Amino acid sequence: MSKVASDSRQHPASIRNLVSIDDFGNDEIIGLFEAAKAFSVDLRAHAHLCPGSISASLFYEASTRTRLSFESAMLRLGGGVLTAAEMKSMSAQKGESLADTVRVVSGYADMIVLRHPSEGAARLAARYATVPVVNAGDGSHEHPTQTLCDLYTLWIERGRLEGLDVVLAGDLRYSRTIHSFIFALARFRANIVCVPHPGLELPDYVLRRLHEEYGTEPIRADARQLGDLAGESDAMYLTPNKPHQLSLFTELSALEVGRVDALYMTRPQTERHHGESAERYMRVGAETMALEPLRDALVMHPLPRRDEIDASVDGDPRGVYFKQAARGVPIRMAIGAYLLGAIDLPGARPVPTASSVFHDQPAGPSPCPNTTCITHTEARHVQPAFRLRGRHPLRAACAYCAQELASPWVGSRTERQFDARSSDWAESLDVEDLVFLGDEREAHERGFTRR
């Protein structure tokens, strides 16, 4: 019943996808940046790379900006584009599963760019498609090309990533962009300073993963330290919406950040707020830009913005957010050309990443605990699957949406026994033999006995 499914579907294991930024190794990412940089010299000089190739944009929710950026990249590579911006209504109408849709579209295109409201949708698509799949955003899970675009902007402006001092400001709680970016910064060993809007701090699971996987913690600053720091000479602050209500960062010298490399500002994700007020939301304006620690800082933003960056910053050479958006094209050109086999990345070994290995759970009452995971809507074709995150302690996550499995119980398929996940017995089980159980009752119902 159990299997390692990474190569059990129609397509050869050699097909690479970009579902999560973790699908690419560090060497590959830097290789993509080098390729994007070369493309940028003249975006129109690379139409010989993918002539005759077709990219299909399957968008189950509207995101015109992202779609146009991908399509522009494909056209610049000399390829063609199929556009389905209305997939949601289609799908609802005829009731076709995503697994079927991507198998069909694999016959029409050489690459699929997928946007979907459910977490894990892109991983599922990659598993069934017979062409490369690029994740253009799956719910609140990942949006890796946005993250690569952000990283690339830092890299090209600063020439490196390691050791950069990056300030993240605003809604750090609900911004998917920020979460992906912060893990990427940690992975490339940048220093992270968080300046959340009050009530919109980084979620605990992000902090925990930062600690567990990268052994690092962001430097945390608090706008509420205003009282302590007001009037300090080298304090860095953001201009609030209303005058006379300065929300200071913190004393940067105390943080040993003498000069900020980049200030990454986010818009308040008010559509996801649950009562948190984004009134008097932080605002970057002329006063902010006059601060000494921001003398050379890039001001970045994933766009669209509302009021959080004042129009006066648009003409400031440090305000690179429009350049950042434009860099989405060369970076997506590099991704497309790489996945389509049109370019090599010298020095980069394609790593068979852990994220592509699935351990299917047999059909049963253990769905992914994340109710907006794609496995819930695609239950007809897909059974729950996990992948291992760690051995000591034994950690696993949904293979699709990456949410961690919380249950304390695991079983052995061959022994038909179960025990606490933290037990030595559990940690020693072969991955093929492992089964994650929802609770004791489920364990008994599925025929496992307690060790």
List contacts with a copy of itself (CB under 8 A): 44-45, 47, 51-54, 56, 62, 64-65, 67-69, 71-72, 75-76, 78, 80-87, 89-90, 93-96, 100-101, 103-110, 303-307, 311, 322-323, 325-329, 380-381
What residues pair up with 265 in beta bridges, in sequence order? 169
How near is the Cβ of 394 to a copy of itself at its closest, in Å? 30
Three-class secondary structure of residue 3 per DSSP: coil
For 128-188, the DSSP string reads H-SS-EEEEEETTS--HHHHHHHHHHHHHHHS--TT-EEEEEE-TTT-HHHHHHHHHHHHT
Burial class of residue 11, CB neighbours in 10 A (0-12, 13-18, 19+): middle
How near is the Cβ of 86 to a copy of itself at its closest, in Å? 7
d(CA 18, CA 28): 12
The 10 Å CB-count burial string (b at 16+, else e) for 241-263 is beeeebbbbbbbeebebeebbbb
248 or 299, CB closer to a copy of itself?
299
How near is the Cβ of 75 to a copy of itself at its closest, in Å? 4
Q: Of the residues 115, 176, 283, 413, which is catalytic?
A: 115
Which residue type occupies 98? L
How near is the Cβ of 290 to a copy of itself at its closest, in Å? 20
Q: Is 446 labeled as catalytic in the residue annotation?
A: no
Question: Which of 187, 114, 152 lies closest to 32 in space, CA to CA?
Answer: 152
Judge whether 172 and 194 are in contact, CB under 8 Å: yes
207 or 326, CB closer to a copy of itself?
326
Q: Is 66 labeled as catalytic in the residue annotation?
A: yes
How near is the Cβ of 314 to a copy of itself at its closest, in Å? 8
Q: Which two tokens stand for residue 239?
A: 């201009």
Sign of the C-alpha dihedral, residues 343, 345, 349, 352?
negative
256 or 271, CB closer to a copy of itself?
271
Kind and range of the H or E run holding 30: helix 26-40
Q: Is 270 labeled as catalytic in the residue annotation?
A: no
Q: Of the residues 141, 143, 327, 359, which is catalytic?
A: 143
Q: Of the residues 66, 101, 153, 250, which is catalytic?
A: 66
Q: Is 101 labeled as catalytic in the residue annotation?
A: no
Q: Is 115 labeled as catalytic in the residue annotation?
A: yes
Q: How many CA atoms lie within 13 A of 43 on its CB side?
A: 14
121 or 325, CB closer to a copy of itself?
325
87 or 124, CB closer to a copy of itself?
87
101 or 191, CB closer to a copy of itself?
101
How near is the Cβ of 45 to a copy of itself at its closest, in Å? 8
Q: Of the residues 44, 48, 64, 94, which is catalytic?
A: 94
Sheet holding 247-251, edge to edge: 247-251, 235-240, 282-283
Residues identified as active-site: 65-66, 94, 115, 143
